Chain A
Amino acid sequence: MKLLKKTTQYYFVFLILTFLIVVITFYFIAEYLIYKDVESRLQSERKYFEEYMYVNHGKWYDGCYFIDNKVVVHQVSHWSTIAVFKDTLLYDRQANAKIPFRELNFYMKLNNQAYHISIRKSIIESRIMIEYFTVIMIGMLTILFLFMYFFQQRMANRIWKPFYETLKILQELKLNSTTKIEWKDGQINEFAELNNTLNHMILKMRSDYKNLKEFTENASHELQTPISVIRVRSEELIQSEHLTDRQQYLIHDIYESFNRMSTLIQTLLLLSKIENRQFIDVIEIDVDKLITVKINEYEEFFQIKKINFSYTKHQNFICMMNPLLADILLNNLIINSIKHNIEGGFVLLNLFDDRIEISNSGERITVEPDVLFNRFIKSKSKPDSLGLGLAIVKQITDTYDLHITYTYNHPIHMICIRRINL
């Protein structure tokens, strides 16, 4: 969820809760105040009533008050000092409906006679007042909260703007570029600090990347000269006549080991170059076309090992890749399928628009399928192999967001390279 959306969400929940609390509290406080007011007026009316009763010796007429049932007096046999307030609904002639009253009930003794007295006051007007106030209150609060909400939105957008700018810079960051990054520092210290820290990190990363790249470049470049000298010199030595068999054998052994070393260095450098993403140029690769070229190249290998090769193009697989790496990828896959095949076996290559499947017959592999794509994994029957072919394939697929899987279903080995659906 986006940062702004999340804050808005929290803000909204908070506003609604506050709103409810404020409105409800207001309602109860207003009600309490009104009751208090009515009750204090009832108390003072009680005093006036008692005064009146003493003066008039207990003579009271219901008709004295022109509003119905304003004061009700009953003669009762028992007497008590209890005085209570209660709510009651009484019929009103004018309104032709029952309306709410507040009632004070108390007893009084006059000339040895006990009376129960109820004094009432209508609270309908006050109730209506509360309702009006509540509605006005809700309206005001809604307007206030809407303003606050829009203000918060605008403010959040403005405050987080540098953050989004920084994020965008990071997303578009290229390690191999040396262009200076244009940080947009706003007035917020924290963001300026963040940008500053990131800038340091990026500079460090760039310099590390550059060092690593230089190391691989130097290694691949500077090593080639001595390697060339050794190779050329040993070839010269091989050409020389009058060598004893033993000498010839020794020279050849040196030459062969040296060639292996040279290939090993080349291959490892290739791996780290791929890993460092130093193959920057990408073009659209027509895999079908490339496969056709490769098949021509390796035709004799199939023939000599009597391997039945069949290629089916269901759909074409087109992807953006470095041409050299695409070439190496298919090369290694095909060579692998030949190398680990059996005489008279088969290779099936299937091309779909989302995957390349290559399966071949072969003996049970002696390594765990999980580590098959690791470096220096070689079959026991092929000790001369460098064991880097599939590691390179894996490295290339990783670089281009392709997913590689190996499955073995006796006697078929299958490698599938699939596009990752993003």
Chain B
Amino acid sequence: MKILIVEDETGLSESISSHLGKENFICERAFTYEEAYEKINLYTYDCVIVDINLPDGFGFGIVEKLKSLSATTGIIILSARNSIDDKLKGLEIGSDDYMTKPFHLSELNARIKSLMRRRQFNGNNEIIYNEIRIIPNKRQVLIHGEELHLSKKEYDLLVYFISNKGNALTKTSITEHLWGDHMDSADSLYVIYSHIKNLRKKLVEKGALDYVSSIYGIGYKFGEK
């Protein structure tokens, strides 16, 4: 899957590209409006990540151009502008998602994957990880074909884990994923802990392996040990 990262800050761009590269995405980078404009005219991408503030223009123009070129490209706006107006404008002109800086790589990764699923298979795409099968349309989880009942937050957590399998997830990123960034992280740690405990218990009870491991002081990791 091909992704174009339009971001003028090289450090950020490089980190995103290397992180997504590990997820088997093919990443290309553009640092200016001009460059991005040229690239989207020449090639097709499955997903484009656009920063709004570029040295030679606003990312909105790229979103509009992309919309006129190909309807299937997923667009995620990345912006430091934490204002509702920009968010509304971005979504109005056709971007699929909007993220404000600073963001977590794991969150970006989860959003891209969710977007790709919705894009490419009309949302019918299932998430399969060994014995775990998730049907996002129905918010249904099957273990060895048997249904597993999860609460809303437990379900979100499981999808987030699988989207970022093999990566360490910090507690902050999990909190922000589940509750947004208004939550004081100090309060939510205990809640996260209890959600994860319940999720692990439920998964194991249905016969799945215990894929969640905690990394001392940092957070959690999902994947085969």
Name A residues whose Cβ lies closer than 8 Å to a Cβ of B: 220-222, 224-225, 227-233, 235-236, 238-239, 245, 248-249, 252, 255-256, 259, 262-263, 266, 281, 297, 300-301, 304, 323-324, 327-328, 331-332, 335, 338-339, 382, 384-386, 389
CB of A386 within 8 A of CB of B15, answer no
Tell me if A's interface is mostly helix, strand, loop or mixed: helix
CB of B25 to closest CB in A, whole Å: 16
CB of B164 to closest CB in A, whole Å: 10
Q: Report A-chain residues with C-beta under 8 Å of the C-beta of B16.
A: 232
Closest residue of chain A to B173 (Cβ to Cβ) is A235
Q: Report A-chain residues with C-beta under 8 Å of the C-beta of B82.
A: 220, 224, 266
CA separation between A323 and B88, bound complex, in Å?
Answer: 14
CB of B194 within 8 A of CB of A324, answer no
Q: Report B-chain residues with C-beta under 8 Å of the C-beta of A229.
A: 9, 11-12, 15
Closest residue of chain B to A233 (Cβ to Cβ) is B15
Contact with A along B184-200 (1 / 0, CB 8 A): 11110011001100000
CB of A385 within 8 A of CB of B102, answer no
Name B residues whose Cβ lies closer than 8 Å to a Cβ of A: 9, 11-12, 15-16, 18-19, 53, 80-82, 84, 100-106, 151, 153, 167-168, 170, 172-173, 179, 181-187, 190-191, 194-195, 215-218
Given contacts A231-B102, A238-B170, A335-B184, contact A221 B81 (CB under 8 A): yes
Pick the contact of A236: B19, B80, B179, B194 (CB < 8 A): B19
Q: Report B-chain residues with C-beta under 8 Å of the C-beta of A233.
A: 11, 15
8 further A-B pairs in the complex, CB-CB below 8 A; given A231-B104, A304-B190? A227-B101, A229-B11, A229-B15, A238-B170, A300-B194, A328-B182, A335-B183, A335-B184
CB of B80 within 8 A of CB of A252, answer no
CB of A221 within 8 A of CB of B53, answer yes
Q: Report B-chain residues with C-beta under 8 Å of the C-beta of A389.
A: 184
Q: Which of A225, A236, A389 has the most CB of B within 10 A?
A: A225
Pick the contact of B9: A220, A228, A259 (CB < 8 A): A228
Given contacts A220-B82, A227-B102, contact A300 B12 (CB under 8 A): no
Pick the contact of A239: B167, B179, B216 (CB < 8 A): B167
CA separation between A231 and B173, bound complex, in Å?
Answer: 11
Q: Report B-chain residues with C-beta under 8 Å of the C-beta of A230.
A: 102
CB of B198 to closest CB in A, whole Å: 10
Q: Report B-chain residues with C-beta under 8 Å of the C-beta of A297.
A: 179
What's the A-B contact tally at a CB cutoff of 8 Å?
A: 112
A-B contact pairs, 13 of them (CB 8 A): A224-B100, A224-B102, A228-B12, A228-B103, A231-B104, A232-B16, A248-B218, A255-B170, A266-B181, A300-B191, A304-B190, A332-B182, A339-B184
Q: Report A-chain residues with C-beta under 8 Å of the C-beta of B184.
A: 263, 335, 339, 384-386, 389
CA separation between A66 and B215, bound complex, in Å?
Answer: 141
CA separation between A225 and B173, bound complex, in Å?
Answer: 18
Given contacts A301-B187, A384-B186, contact A225 B105 (CB under 8 A): no
CA separation between A238 and B11, bound complex, in Å?
Answer: 16
Q: Report B-chain residues with C-beta under 8 Å of the C-beta of A335.
A: 183-184, 187
CB of B189 to closest CB in A, whole Å: 9
Pick the contact of A382: B80, B173, B186, B190 (CB < 8 A): B186
CA separation between A332 and B183, bound complex, in Å?
Answer: 9
Q: Report A-chain residues with C-beta under 8 Å of the C-beta of B80.
A: 220-222, 224-225, 228
CA separation between A281 and B87, bound complex, in Å?
Answer: 15
CB of B9 within 8 A of CB of A238, answer no
Q: Report A-chain residues with C-beta under 8 Å of the C-beta of B9.
A: 225, 228-229
CB of A259 within 8 A of CB of B185, answer yes
Pick the contact of B217: A225, A252, A281, A323 (CB < 8 A): A252
CA separation between A228 and B170, bound complex, in Å?
Answer: 15
Q: Report B-chain residues with C-beta under 8 Å of the C-beta of A228.
A: 9, 12, 80, 101-103
Q: Report B-chain residues with C-beta under 8 Å of the C-beta of A252.
A: 217-218
CB of A301 within 8 A of CB of B191, answer yes
Closest residue of chain B to A270 (Cβ to Cβ) is B82
Q: Which of B153, B216, B218 has the most CB of A within 10 A?
A: B218
Q: Report B-chain residues with C-beta under 8 Å of the C-beta of A259.
A: 172, 185
Q: Report A-chain residues with C-beta under 8 Å of the C-beta of B151.
A: 300
CB of A232 within 8 A of CB of B167, answer no
CA separation between A327 and B190, bound complex, in Å?
Answer: 23
CB of B84 within 8 A of CB of A324, answer yes
CA separation between A256 and B173, bound complex, in Å?
Answer: 11
Q: Report A-chain residues with C-beta under 8 Å of the C-beta of B185.
A: 259, 263, 384
CA separation between A335 and B11, bound complex, in Å?
Answer: 36
Q: Report A-chain residues with C-beta under 8 Å of the C-beta of B103.
A: 228, 231-232
Q: Report B-chain residues with C-beta under 8 Å of the C-beta of A236.
A: 15, 18-19, 105
Q: Report B-chain residues with C-beta under 8 Å of the C-beta of A324.
A: 84
CB of B27 to closest CB in A, whole Å: 14
CB of B101 within 8 A of CB of A224, answer yes
Q: Report B-chain residues with C-beta under 8 Å of the C-beta of A339.
A: 184, 187
CB of A304 within 8 A of CB of B194, answer yes
CB of B202 to closest CB in A, whole Å: 15
CA separation between A8 and B186, bound complex, in Å?
Answer: 66
CA separation between A301 and B12, bound complex, in Å?
Answer: 35
